């Protein structure tokens, strides 16, 4: 009798030991069966813009990086005395083609445009913008409220604090109407930017950072506008990323 009880106890102990051993093995590879968290892709390291930089943007970035070396890095001057009118009327026909700079830019950047009869093809009434700043399509209809604005890549106020105070009126007007410094974008984005420089604002669409930074550096180099140390550093970082293969 005692021998039977002892045998049954031994068998029960062996079964319990086997069960514990089997259970202990389940979490040995906890990630093998566990589903991935849906937020994991968002927390993964975002690829730098250089990984998908178009060849044209990469070439422009390399050229801008070389120009950046000649742009001084120093503190901004006071904004005292700045007025939009110091850069001429908005907008002016500086190239004397019979059309003001705003409409020139709309005709350049929009597709499917309709122009106002009797204006020699100048005044844009409607069109569609593939907004590089946001990566979205924007419809433009003249007189229907803010939809599309013309952005100064280098804001006039920023230029005023970084060299333009010492320019004559003619140079300021040419700067304000330089096609290289102008881009059509959605009104909301343009107004969110305000007069921010490259160190404090970038377009929402990251794929456009290369072209945006290259454009700003090129304009500043061409017109003799300096950068703050923070802006100079940010431009360097972006452009180096953009030139990587």
In tens digits, what is the pLDDT along the chain, a chain of 245 residues?
Answer: 444 444 444 444 344 333 333 333 323 333 333 333 333 322 222 333 334 566 788 999 999 999 999 999 999 999 999 999 999 998 999 989 999 999 999 999 999 999 999 999 999 999 999 999 999 999 999 998 779 999 999 999 999 999 999 999 999 999 999 999 999 999 999 999 999 999 999 999 999 999 999 999 999 999 999 999 999 999 999 999 999 85
Among left, alpha and beta (phi > 0; psi -120 to 50; other), residue 227 is: beta
Run of H or E residues at 200: none
Dihedral sign of CA atoms 242, 135, 230, 213 in order: positive
Instruction: Find the angle CA(50)-CA(53)-CA(55) to the nearest 5 degrees.
Output: 125
Task: Report the distance separating Cα 75 and Cα 71, nearest Å.
Answer: 13
């Amino acid at each position: 009798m005692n021998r039977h009880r002892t045998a049954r106890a031994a068998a029960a102990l062996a079964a319990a030991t086997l069960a514990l051993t089997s259970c202990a093995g389940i979490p040995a590879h906890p990630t093998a069966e566990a589903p991935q968290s849906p937020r994991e892709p968002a927390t993964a390291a975002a690829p730098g813009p250089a990984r998908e930089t178009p060849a044209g943007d990469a070439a422009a970035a390399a050229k801008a990086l070389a120009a950046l070396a000649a742009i001084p890095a120093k503190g901004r001057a006071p904004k005292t005395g700045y007025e939009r009118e110091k850069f001429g009327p908005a907008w002016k026909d500086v190239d004397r083609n019979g059309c003001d700079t705003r409409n020139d830019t709309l005709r350049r950047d929009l597709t499917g445009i309709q122009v106002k009869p009797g204006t020699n093809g100048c005044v844009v009434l409607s069109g569609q913008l593939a907004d590089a700043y946001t990566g979205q399509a924007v419809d433009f209809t003249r007189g229907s409220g803010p939809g599309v604005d013309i952005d100064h890549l280098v804001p006039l106020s920023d230029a005023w604090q970084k060299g333009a105070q010492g320019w004559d009126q003619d140079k300021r007007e040419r700067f304000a109407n330089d096609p290289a410094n102008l881009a059509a974008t959605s009104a909301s984005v343009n107004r969110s930017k305000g007069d921010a420089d490259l160190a404090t604002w970038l377009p929402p669409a990251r794929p456009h950072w290369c072209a945006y930074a290259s454009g700003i550096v090129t304009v500043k180099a061409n017109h003799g506008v300096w950068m703050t140390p923070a802006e100079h550093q940010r431009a360097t970082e972006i452009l180096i990323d953009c030139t990587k293969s």
